[in-house]
Amino acid sequence: MVTPIRFLLLALGMVCFSHLGYSSFNSNVHNSEVWGQNIDREKVYLHMDRSDYYAGERMWFKAYVVQAGTNKPVVTNEIVYVDLINSKNEVMITKMLQTEQGSASGEIRIPLETTNGLYTVRAYTNFMRNHGNSTFFRKNIRIGGGAKLAAEKVFTGEKPITDLKDAVLHLEKPDLQFFPEGGNLVNGFINRMGFKLVAPDGMGTDVNGRVVDGSGKLITEFTSSHLGMGMLSFIPQNGEKYLAEIQFNGNTFTYPLPNAMVSGTMMHVFDRGTHYNVEIKSSRYNGVNGLQLTTFQGGEEVSKSKIEGKDQYAVVTLPKELVKDGIVQFTLFDNAGQPICERLFFHHSDSGQVAMETSKKQYGKRELVDLEIKVDEDAADFAANMSLSVSETALSAPRMGNIDIKTYLLLTSELKGEIENPAYYFNSNDPARRKNLDFLMMTQGWRSFIDQEVEELRFPRETGITLKGRVVQSNSRDKAVPAQISLAFKNRMEAGYDVVETNENGEFEFSDLHFKDSTSIFVYANALSKKNKKNKKNKGSDPSFFIELDSFTTPEVKVMESLPLAKEVDYVSAYPVVLPENKPFKVDGADLIRLKEAVVTENKLDKEANMKRKRKSALYIRPSYSLDYEQFRNNPIGNALTALQGRIPGVTVIGEQVSIRNRYDSPPFFLLDGFPVAEQTIFDIPVTDIDFVDYIRPGATAMYGMNGGNGIIAVYTLDGRERFYKKQTPTENGVGTLTYVHPGFVKSKKFYEPVYNKIDSKRRKADFRRTLHWEPNVELSPDGKVKVSFYTSDLPATYQATLQGITDEGTPIHSKVMFESD
């Protein structure tokens, strides 16, 4: 007899196993208090505009931060780190974003010198580091054109680890594992057992095989259903041992099956259409009496059922209306409260909340596309945070490049190891999709976030930027000293000042700082008055002190050194070097912005030589005018080209509009490090990244044909080879001070989209945009609808509009629609 305390939730089918073995349960893992810890953990998901890019393009993304258990947005403002990692385990770029109500948007400009290959984008919060980088979001992307990079090794953003796939990569014998449903095989009952074959290349591979007993007698045959996964059934007998035999690449391989228990308990789960049946069988002396079935979902205990009676068989019925999409864990406890069986099952309702539809399926070049987004349910009860991307579909997306927010939050982030083609289990029309999803749950196993308790939370939640360090004696770096620490900072939008005192160990900390842009930092220390420390007036830094500033360490990968940043420099002339067009290029030394004498060395590279080196990538021989940006990097004003106003004759810059004298109808031609780019690309470049800007007058641009008819503006960025810049950041000057530039939070720019009409759509230069639209914040009207409009480009392709987001209740949203442009 089954006496439910309250109905259980969700789909399941119970299996007792560890990920790579069949060891007994750890009762601590199932303690309700430990499960409750899951609610405090976090996940990060990145919605990216696409999965393949070219060097020089911008990667647009939106970060969603949710509670690991419920998937509800983390409403506390936190810092999210986004890394671009190359195949050498090097972090090329790190961006910091500050979330608001659980999300933040940003972009990464892929350096022009980036080589073709497969890269990894990784995202995490500082708090997630407490639970290991296996909890971080990772997505593989491809950078570069040409043929599919099939031979490239895919880097997952982590150091090599020994797991199932790593263990068989160099073996000729494939790896075949078996996972009994219920935890162990039990003699005398029909047992169901999941299996998975992994080939020597680490990929799941379909297989046929058979099970034989010790005498070689055929017991049953089995065939995989998807990527080497499947299920077989048979009745084990007392005293028998069983082997599985398979044929692989013309060879026969055998594998022992797990030993069956003489007396034990097992659990099966069946989908009965409107409900799930959990069947429990036991050959113990008292049968199923006293057993308790408990359901967990999202880190919380959902329900319990107490089983009474001495029968060997019991069934618990679970109505599907009590279940939400995602993984549910059913655990069977014995009379002593010890877990004896466990099964994971995935419930997928296939219900959509938001639908999208384009005005038609086929469009021409530079044609207006109207996309309607509407809620399928009551709009008054719908509250969600959503983002929209419209981009060319990738011809050869990297592995794992097809994940979406629903696939990631409900499946990928919950399972151990890499899942091959995870989107298949949600989006495929294969009628066997649900069955194969259950095979995945039986074989690959669920990676609970509470696999192990964290004794100490070393990494706190970050609601703002923290600067901390230590003050020591300049002549004895191991001797800490108490001091007063002053912090001054400024950027284009703000300036501030703060003072703190060190503790007895010389440690100090400035917390909850919010730098909305690249910010110049100046830190200095002076001695405390023994009589009246707090009232001591600041008289400047103490030359006997040395400041050690802690730096942020990127988790478990080798971090490349960032580009050197300079300290304050002496002000010289802000006017450009005027270059006569009929004379060889030469810079007058009097017009150069010089560094302080203390840092100029005999190894410095002549600035003229540096400019000539960079101009080799362009077609012109010499510019009409050249403007050095050294001063503007230290004191940024406006956007990337604001400094040209009033300093380059004939060039007018108003906001982000650039015009050339007598050429007001069309903009000039733009070059970035010698390569033609769109005007908006130039304005996206931070002033702090610009080395110098050249201007070539109309009439001196024949080498660029009609494109250069309105003049050329060529922008050159820092590439790390300018040895005349300061060598390292932060820099201490030896008298108790420290200066450097903090990158601050990423300030997301507005995505550039052209607006065409019948007249100028034919006159403008070629438009090869591969991302047609990026909208990081999609807001619906009160009736649950919104229309989004954008133009196609000149690139004939298949495009996909993808809407992703999360509701206030933690339900992932994913909707897509495709259209053609010729």
pLDDT, position 587: 32
Burial class (CB in 10 A: 0-12, 13-18, 19+), 519: buried
Distance of CA 384 to the CA centre of its chain: 21
| Beta strands in 334-375, from DSSP E residues, in sequence order | 339-347, 354-358, 362-363, 368-375
pLDDT, position 562: 32
| Rounded mean pLDDT, 791-805 | 94
The pair of structure tokens assigned to 659 is 């015009």
The 10s digit of each residue's pLDDT in 379-425 is 778 899 999 999 998 654 544 447 899 999 999 998 877 788 888 89
pLDDT, position 297: 81
The 10s digit of each residue's pLDDT in 313-371 is 999 887 887 778 888 888 889 988 889 888 888 988 877 789 999 999 999 999 999 99
The pair of structure tokens assigned to 577 is 């070097």
Nearest one of 318, 329, 338 to 35, comparing CA atoms: 329
pLDDT, position 3: 40
Q: Is the pLDDT of residue 166 over 70?
A: no
pLDDT, position 728: 40
Contact between residue 85 and residue 556 where contact means Cβ atoms under 8 Å apart:
no
pLDDT, position 536: 43
Fill in the amino acid letter for 577: V
Q: Is the pLDDT of residue 616 over 70?
A: yes
Phi, psi of 311 (to 5 degrees): -70, 165
| Beta strands in 224-274, from DSSP E residues, in sequence order | 229-234, 243-248, 251-256, 260-261, 265-271
The 10s digit of each residue's pLDDT in 181-232 is 978 899 999 999 999 999 988 889 999 999 999 999 999 999 999 999 999 9
The 10s digit of each residue's pLDDT in 69-127 is 899 999 999 999 999 999 888 899 999 999 999 999 999 999 988 999 999 999 999 99
pLDDT, position 765: 74
Q: Kindly report the CA angle at 346 between 342 and 348, in degrees rounded to 5?
A: 160
| Beta strands in 224-334, from DSSP E residues, in sequence order | 229-234, 243-248, 251-256, 260-261, 265-271, 275-282, 292-297, 300-307, 313-319, 326-333
| Rounded mean pLDDT, 702-725 | 78
The pair of structure tokens assigned to 361 is 């399926």
Nearest one of 99, 462, 17 to 267, comparing CA atoms: 17
Nearest one of 422, 496, 495, 387 to 786, comparing CA atoms: 387
**How would residue 539 be classed by pLDDT, with cut points 50, 70 and 90?**
very low
| Rounded mean pLDDT, 141-146 | 76
| Rounded mean pLDDT, 757-774 | 77
**How would residue 146 be classed by pLDDT, with cut points 50, 70 and 90?**
very low
| Rounded mean pLDDT, 419-440 | 90
Nearest one of 71, 220, 295, 255 to 806, comparing CA atoms: 71
Nearest one of 613, 506, 492, 584 to 550, comparing CA atoms: 506
pLDDT, position 31: 41
Per-residue H/E/C for 669-724: EEEECCEECCHHHHHCCCHHHEEEEEEECCCCCHHHHHHHHHCEEEEEECCCCCCC
Q: What are the counts of helices (DSSP H) followed by strands (DSSP E) for the chain?
A: 9, 51
Residue for token pair 């069934």: 315
The 10s digit of each residue's pLDDT in 37-77 is 455 789 999 999 999 999 989 999 999 999 998 999 999 99
Report the distance separating Cα 175 and Cα 164, nearest Å: 8
pLDDT, position 294: 85
Distance of CA 690 to the CA centre of its chain: 28
The pair of structure tokens assigned to 129 is 């580091």
The 10s digit of each residue's pLDDT in 617-665 is 788 888 989 998 888 887 777 888 988 888 888 888 888 888 888 776 6
Q: Is the pLDDT of residue 679 over 90?
A: no
pLDDT, position 585: 30
Give 277's strand partners: 270, 317
Report the distance separating Cα 492 and Cα 640, nearest Å: 13
Burial class (CB in 10 A: 0-12, 13-18, 19+), 497: exposed
Q: Identify the residue with better confidence: 431 or 731.
A: 431
Nearest one of 548, 575, 551, 570 to 561, comparing CA atoms: 551
The 10s digit of each residue's pLDDT in 556-585 is 653 333 333 333 333 222 333 333 333 333
Query: For the chain, what is the mean pLDDT?
Result: 78
Report the distance separating Cα 390 and Cα 399, nearest Å: 21
Residue for token pair 């034919």: 762
Q: Is the pLDDT of residue 22 over 60?
A: no
